[in-house]
Chain A
Amino acid sequence: MSGLSGWVPLWPPAASAEAGTVDAIVLLLLGLSGAVLLLVLCLVAGFAIRYRRGSPAKRGALPELVQSEVEIGWTAATLLLALLLFAWAASAQLGEERTQSDALEIHVTARQWMWKAQHPNGAREINALHLPRGEPVRLLMTSEDVIHSFFVPAFRIKQDVLPGRVTQLRFHPTETGEFHLFCAEFCGTLHARMLGTVTVMEPGDYARWRAAQPEGDGLAREGAALFVSLGCAGCHGAGGGGSEVGVGATVRAPRLAGLYGRDVPLADGRVVRADEAYLRDSILQPGRDVAAGYAPLMPSFAGLLGEGEVQRLVAYLRERGEQPGEGR
């Protein structure tokens, strides 16, 4: 319980790589703000005492020095300081964005008023999230109703979770322990009860924990069933193997096996990477990114599929995409 213990703490536990970056910026800002505050305090208090009414201090016109040069001086100084601070904070953020490697992907679904998580092997948990220490994590989050926000103070991260789209959150837990998970966006009656616990374990413990979970019908396996029952296979071929008119199918539709992770040329000339977001869009808004060489015949499944079903389909297509030797 290292994350939740400690009496009257002044600083939250820092349990992720991101926490280090944030804390460094906070310390710098605290130092600078303290200095500026002290300066203003000294100016105001100093002048107030020295030039109190009737004090013997010298009055008269302002000295040359304290004319408009000073004004321009401190305008420039504050501007420079502000720009430096911005540059530092921005480059920290950009740097974080760039160093993204392969990550453990976990699906998070928020709803009034609980958090549901699903691990790659299908293990599910509610209001809890188990993570291995030292491994980058990527959460793919969506909401079934209103906007929520995934907030783990010990990791110094927060990301709103919206209905109708997937937001991502990447981080890198570095300490084991149990940490608070809060919903940070007001979401209705029990917003304050939309809490969870994030447990960071040693990688070995995590693997054991995961293996011990009821296997569940793996996401991808459920997706495969949906792929058939929803009629995707009718156009895309069994197993997403592709179809040509005349070969038993009525519509020519692209092969989906081996699609995930590849660059897809689109009808309008753009080339996009087939990631999860692309797969989702293809299912929910097929008219937006039409694959080159195909007619925009794919029907939209928006409104027909629940969020869970979309996630299963996407997981299935990912799995089909990652299978070796099935390239297009």
Chain B
Amino acid sequence: MSGITADDAMAEAPQERQGDSYLTAETGLASWLLTTDHKRVALLYAAALTAFFFIGGAAAVLIRLELFTPASDLVSAEGYNRLFTLHGLVMVWFFLVPAIPNTLGNFLLPLMIGARDLAFPRLNLFSWYLFMGAGLLLLAALLLGGVDTGWTFYTPFSTGYAHSNVLLAALAVVLVGFSSVATGVNMLATVHLLRAPGMGWFRLPLLVWSIYGTALVMVLATPVLAAALLLVVAERAFGLPIFDPRQGGDPLLFQHLFWFYSHPAVYIMILPAFGVVSEIVPCFARRRIFGYTFMVYAILMIALLGFLVWGHHMFVSGQSLYASLVFSFLSFVIAVPSAIKVFNWSFTLYRGQISFQAPMLYALGFIGLFTLGGLTGLVLASVPVNRHVTDTYYVVAHFHFIMVGGAVTALYGGLHFWWPKITGRMPPDGWARFAAVLMFFGFSFTFFPMFVMGFLGMPRRYASYPPEFQVWHVLASAGAVLLAAAYLLPMGYLAWSLVRGRRAGDDPWNATGLEWRTASPPPRDNFRVPPIVEEAAYLYHPRHEGPRHEEQEPHRDQGGGT
């Protein structure tokens, strides 16, 4: 039945079983820094992203400390502006955008489609170096005194008035953009060219689909960001009049270009999270994903419509009311595919055999937080209400629900789910469940008060504020302590599990999917026998039968039958 499981491999070459996982196949620093193995590149990204997560997180901690009191007492107003700019720049481009696609995606995409590597392994390594180069540029900008434009670089402030390292930061973002275009092209090519025999488009796991959609958006939208920021550089450094109204420029042009990238960027951050959750939920419900085709089309719809709603960031910018209404309409429409996803995850639970290990808790937390984040987006999409809540903490709460409550929770869920595959060790489930619950509540305590204070009128990017908002800031800052603990805790026990964790079998969760049909951790070339796919994804139970009561068991192995 199962042609390429460890049994066969063991039978073929018993002594190799221990020795030649991708982690141990080669040794030495050079074997890592010059590797073209997608799994090792994924770990390189993971290391870099962890560092950036710490930097951006430290800025967030300082921000929350400063906002504990109404006065600007911990840092100066200048210092505060540099902190939130740093937090935004690092978290958006050096953590959230690459978070899932470049780590889990890089690691899993070839495994999930039965390929030996990405289509362009050297390009993959090259884009990591681009990423690191951009990261160093950004760090240089920070060490030389920071940036004070906000991550949005609005003109004419950024081109004519900011007195900080705008050029370095803008170039860093342009460069990191090239890195994500390279990754995107690589992943598109991989999905098109390297699927295993029998792996038709509608047999692809949803994580693959969502990374495919993400890669499309990356490749199409990122060049516009590069153009916008290069124009900022042109005006700031060389005085080319582009955005400065005193020389006939138009400051709103920048906002159009910027949001033409940055709205789709929201989907770059959240689509891969959808994919991760779509893998975890069926596995722990022992149930096929509900409405697979709808889920695929929802991903594609979101990727497409994501390009048409950028103007909802500009309702109060002075843009024509009719333009605003069109963007408002499209923003309401884009809620539909997102709602489909939420309902389908919920219905996947129906008649399942649900167990609640840590990855599942993260996934359920994701569903709750994402639903709230999405619903609060409807409020923002309606023009009259948007005029009140835009540029307040309401918006801050909304996008943190999507991008942190959503994407980061899913990242942690995925990390726990595939940790045994990546490292060969199980995460300690008790601790992991505790961290998952803590993350959900810590997150809610931190960001829910922001909805309230935002609706009360608290503007964003304020170092000091009128005292009547203090209650809400204190609540948020207190929640942030729990949240920080919930983010740090897994780093601790996951590191511990590398040494002390229980060894994982090839398929510890009894999951479907080709990545589980090879050793944990996988060998350098992923599969000892090239897999052949004969069935659709998520066959957790025979078609006309529910999952059985007793064992978690039955699913039939994909790639079997050879």
Which A positions have Cβ atoms within 8 angstroms of B? Answer: 4, 6-12, 18, 21-22, 25-26, 29, 33, 36-37, 40-41, 43-44, 47-48, 51-54, 57-62, 66, 68, 70-71, 74-75, 78-79, 82-83, 85-86, 89-90, 92-94, 96-97, 112, 145-147, 149, 151, 153-154, 156-160, 162-165, 167, 180, 182-193, 195, 302-303
Q: Which residue of B lies closest to A190 (CB)?
A: B77
Q: Are A186 and B461 in contact (CB-based, < 8 A)?
A: yes
Q: What sequence of 0s and 1s flags, for each residue 460-474 of chain B, a beta carbon within 8 Å of any chain A beta carbon?
A: 111111101001000
Q: Tell me which of A37, A48, A187 contacts B354 (CB under 8 A).
A: A48
Contacts of B455 in A (CB 8 A): 11-12, 26
Known: A75-B294, A165-B245. A146 touches B157 (CB 8 A): yes
Bound Cα distance from A319 to B378, whole angstroms: 45
Contact of A185 among B80, B368, B391 (CB under 8 A): B391
Given contacts A59-B549, A71-B294, is CB(A147)–CB(B157) below 8 Å? Answer: yes
Q: With A21-B384, A149-B391 given, can you name 17 additional A-B contacts, CB distance below 8 Å?
A: A9-B456, A9-B468, A22-B388, A48-B349, A51-B353, A74-B339, A75-B294, A78-B335, A82-B332, A89-B383, A146-B161, A153-B456, A156-B388, A188-B157, A189-B77, A189-B81, A192-B465
- In the bound complex, residues from chain A placing their C-beta under 8 Å from that of B375 are 33, 36-37
Restricting to B317-375, which residues have a CB under 8 Å from any CB of A?
A: 317-318, 321, 325, 328-329, 332-333, 335-336, 339-340, 342-344, 346-347, 349-356, 364, 367-368, 371-372, 375
A149-B316, A158-B388 known; A44-B368 Cβ under 8 A: yes
Taken together as a complex, chains A and B put the C-alpha atoms of A219 and B336 apart, in Å, by 52
How many chain B residues have a CB neighbour from A under 8 Å? 93
Q: Please provide the chain B residues from 287 to 336 with a CB less than 8 Å away from any CB of chain A in the complex.
A: 290-291, 294, 316-318, 321, 325, 328-329, 332-333, 335-336
Cβ–Cβ contact A33 & B376, under 8 A: yes
Residues of A contacting B157 in the complex (Cβ-Cβ under 8 angstroms): 146-147, 186-188
Asked if B3 lies at the interface with its beta carbon under 8 angstroms from chain A, I say no
Residue B385, interface by CB 8 Å: yes
Question: Are B354's CB and A53's CB within 8 A?
Answer: yes
The answer to whether A82 and B333 touch across the interface, beta carbons within 8 angstroms, is yes
B257 at the interface (CB under 8 A from A): no
Instruction: List the B side residues contacting A167 at CB < 8 Å.
Output: 318
CB-nearest residue of chain B relative to A79?
A: B336
CB proximity of B421 to chain A, nearest CB, Å: 22
Given contacts A9-B468, A192-B77, are A62 and B351 in contact (CB under 8 A)?
yes
Of chain B, the residue at the smallest CB distance from A141 is B318
Nearest CB of A to B111, in Å? 27
Closest chain-A Cβ to B366's Cβ sits at a distance in Å of 11
How long is the Cα–Cα vector from A29 to B382 in the complex, in angstroms? Answer: 10
**Contacts A29-B385, A53-B355 given; does A40 touch B546 at CB 8 Å:** no
Q: Does B35 contact A (CB under 8 A)?
A: no
Does the CB pair A86–B329 fall under 8 Å? Answer: yes
Residue of A nearest to B542 (CB): A61
Q: Which B residues lie within 8 Å of A156 (CB)?
A: 384, 387-388
Contacts A/B (CB < 8 Å), 5 sampled: A26-B455, A93-B325, A164-B245, A189-B81, A192-B77
Q: Is the CB of B385 within 8 A of A188?
A: no
Residues of B within 8 A of A11 (CB): 455-456
The distance from the CB of A91 to the nearest CB of chain B, in whole angstroms, is 10
Q: How far is the CB of B285 from chain A (nearest CB, A)?
A: 7
In the bound complex, CA of A189 to CA of B317 (Å): 21
